[in-house]
């Protein structure tokens, strides 16, 4: 009888420990899910859909947290390059663009990290990219334009999207086409 009481006591204790552990595990998982960055839209980015559209209101910030003046995107010629530091095609695009970004003083290149862990990605991008990247706080540009892939280049003329390229310039044809376009600009 004592043995049965002892077994039931141990079983009750294990049951309580299991329930409490499950409760804390569930709360932790729920908390993690709530704190995750919202996903970017799942539809494919279609460049032709954004041509001749005004760039949506941005909330871009640099490594120090300073906001990028939205007006700087609305005047003159700007190439927004959407890239992620942990992306191999983005690395190829960065290498391709390095000599180009400083060759044209009349065109402003801005590297944008569209989603993910803001601080870690900005620090990583700062050491990796040809120019200091900015972060799309709230992924507003990415969500509004349905940009769900990187790299993407958007050419803006006075705040209006005039041209878009999806994917890295990983072939000589793509590189020549972009360089020729930029030269004719």
Res. 14 pLDDT band, cuts 50 70 90? confident
Res. 42 pLDDT band, cuts 50 70 90? very low
Question: Domain limits of the chain?
Answer: 1-36, 47-184
pLDDT value at position 45?
65
pTM: 0.72
CA 106 to CA 102: how far, in whole Å? 10
List, for residues 84-139, the tens digit of each pLDDT value.
888 889 889 999 998 988 888 899 999 998 887 777 787 778 778 878 888 888 88
Average pLDDT, the chain: 81
162, 156 in Cβ contact below 8 A?
Answer: yes
Q: Nearest to residue 51, comparing CAs of 147, 155, 144? A: 155
List, for residues 18-40, the tens digit of each pLDDT value.
766 767 777 776 666 554 444 44
pLDDT value at position 59?
86
pLDDT value at position 162?
93
List, for residues 154-174, the tens digit of each pLDDT value.
999 999 999 998 888 888 999
CA 111 to CA 1: how far, in whole Å? 74
**List of E strands, the chain:** 60-61, 77-82, 107-113, 134-136, 152-157, 160-166
CA 15 to CA 95: how far, in whole Å? 58
Q: Which residues of 112-134 are buried (b: 16+ CB within 10 A; e: fewer)?
A: bbbbbebeebbebbeeebbbebb
Edge-to-edge order in the sheet of strand 134-136: 60-61, 134-136, 107-113, 77-82, 152-157, 160-166
Report domain 47-184's class.
alpha beta
Could you give the C-alpha distances from 93 to 14, 80, 142, in angstroms and in order? 56, 13, 18
CA 17 to CA 12: how far, in whole Å? 9
């Amino acid at each position: 009888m004592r043995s049965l009481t002892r077994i039931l006591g141990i079983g009750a204790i294990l049951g309580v420990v299991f329930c409490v552990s499950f409760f804390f595990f569930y709360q932790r998982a729920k908390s993690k899910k709530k704190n995750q960055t919202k996903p970017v839209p799942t539809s494919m980015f279609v460049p032709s859909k954004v041509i001749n559209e005004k760039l949506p209101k941005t909330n871009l910030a640099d490594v120090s947290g300073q906001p990028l003046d939205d007006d700087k995107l609305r005047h003159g010629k700007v190439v927004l390059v959407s890239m992620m530091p942990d992306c191999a095609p983005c690395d190829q695009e960065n290498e391709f663009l390095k000599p180009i970004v400083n060759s044209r003083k009349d065109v402003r290149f801005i590297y944008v990290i569209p989603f993910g862990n803001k601080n870690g990605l900005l620090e990583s991008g700062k050491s990796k990219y040809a120019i200091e990247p900015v972060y799309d706080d709230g992924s507003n540009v990415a969500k509004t334009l349905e940009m769900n892939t990187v790299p993407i280049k958007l050419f803006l003329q006075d705040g209006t999207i005039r041209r878009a390229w999806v994917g890295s310039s990983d072939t000589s044809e793509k590189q020549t086409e972009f360089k020729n376009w930029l030269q004719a600009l």
